[in-house]
Amino acid sequence: MEMKKKAVHMTTVHHPYDPRIYHKQCKSLKNAGFDVTLIARRDPKRNESGKAINHVRLKTYKSRLKRMIFGTYDAYRKAKAINADVYTFHDPELLPAAWLLKNKDNVVIYDVHEDYMTSIMQKDYLSEPVKKIVASGYRLMEKFFTKNMGVSLAEKYYRDTHPEGVWILNYPTVNKSFIEHAPAGEREDRVLYTGNVSHVRGALHHAKIPAIDPSIHVHFVGQCPRTLADEMEVVAGSYSDRLNMEGIDSFVEKEVIEERYLERNWLAGIALFPQTEHYRQKELTKFFEYMNAGLPILCSDFPVWKRFVERHQCGIAVDPEDDEAIRAALDYLKHNPEEAALMGQNGKAAVMEELNWQAEERKLVRWYKALLNMDARSNRKKEILADESGS
């Protein structure tokens, strides 16, 4: 009987139950017959005994520097002891460890979650000259360490900086309860934001919505620092009681977020982000999740985002700095319930037919198997790239 191939996923930065790492990649590989281990920090708030994936725990460090030094070494030491056939790492700080793990008998994959170059350029705690130096140094380091590795890309435009990468796009898993869910009655005057809450992800723009339209309640389901939550309440002013926040100083798991989608007949899913180079080109994962749940999208009118919602006829794109435009969009959704429902249906259909993890899962598994079978690699690579042409 052939031994199962060992696959290890490593992260020192992400939460152990990060949707892309745990719920999509690890579970997909386990279902495909791999022996999967996740190396990540533990979740002190969860009993992990019932989890489907073997979890090797790392110590949690409050200091970023200590995490980058000691956490990286700990991850390397524990990964090497497993002697896996394929290692996938998810954080730039693990580049040296992954390089040391690479040998002639295994495969190492760098899973690119973010546009790290533009992410570095928007760090508030770095001066402009330092940002440029750090970004350039990071790119050189990345090129050096990934020379003999596979590279998977969560976004299509990451191919601009990683031309050798394979698209494993961050589309949602199709939730069957969403398919069957048909909320009764009128849409409520409530909008939903899911995922981590931050300044660059529109926290203050979303917080001002009740002041723009006092009939609207805004619900946030995702991790938010207490200090930012306080700042958002100041922005909302006398309407701060219309901000509903779940996840202050704590991670909110995928299962909880999915429950919230089903609890109400939401007016829209929101993503009114300010202009930043980092987000202007991204097709947000939350777009697909809103669509999967049948929610119209209300988002910023970045060209890529505007084209996306118009192509799928699933939402409205507005200038995030234009309060009147935001008010008009909310009014349209409130007073045109049939159109709002059609937007939700269009989005759900697009996810069901095309924009779903199931298609990416097949590509992921086929690619891993190709990388582990050197003789078939070139043909398999052609098949995978052919699949991408239709993505």
pLDDT score at 121 = 59
Q: Do domains 6-171+356-388 and 176-353 have the same CATH topology?
A: yes
Confidence of residue 122 (pLDDT cuts 50, 70, 90): low
Mean per-residue pLDDT over the chain, rounded: 89
Q: Find residue 55's DSSP bridge partners.
A: 38
Measure the CA–CA gap between 216 and 195, rounded to whole angstroms: 20
Secondary structure of residue 96 in the 3-state scheme: helix
Domain ranges across the chain? 6-171+356-388, 176-353
- Place domain 176-353 in its CATH homologous superfamily: Glycogen Phosphorylase B; (3.40.50.2000)
Per-residue pLDDT band at 45 (split at 50, 70, 90): low
Task: Enter the tokens of residue 354.
Answer: 């095309």
196-213 tens-digit pLDDT: 999 999 999 999 999 999
pLDDT of residue 386: 46
What's the pLDDT at 196?
Answer: 94
Distance CA 142, CA 153 (A): 14
What does the pLDDT average to over 242-263?
94
Is residue 318 scored above 60 in pLDDT? Answer: yes
Instruction: Report the b/e string of 194-224 with b at 16+ CB within 10 A.
Output: bbebebebbbbbbbbbbbebeebbbbbbbbb
What does the pLDDT look like over 214-247, one tens digit per residue? 999 999 999 999 999 999 999 999 999 999 999 9
Predicted local confidence at residue 378, as pLDDT = 45
Does the pLDDT of residue 373 top 90, yes or no?
no
Predicted TM-score (pTM) of this structure: 0.79
Q: How far apart are CA 212 and CA 64, in angstroms?
A: 38
Fold exhibited by the domain 6-171+356-388: Rossmann fold (3.40.50)
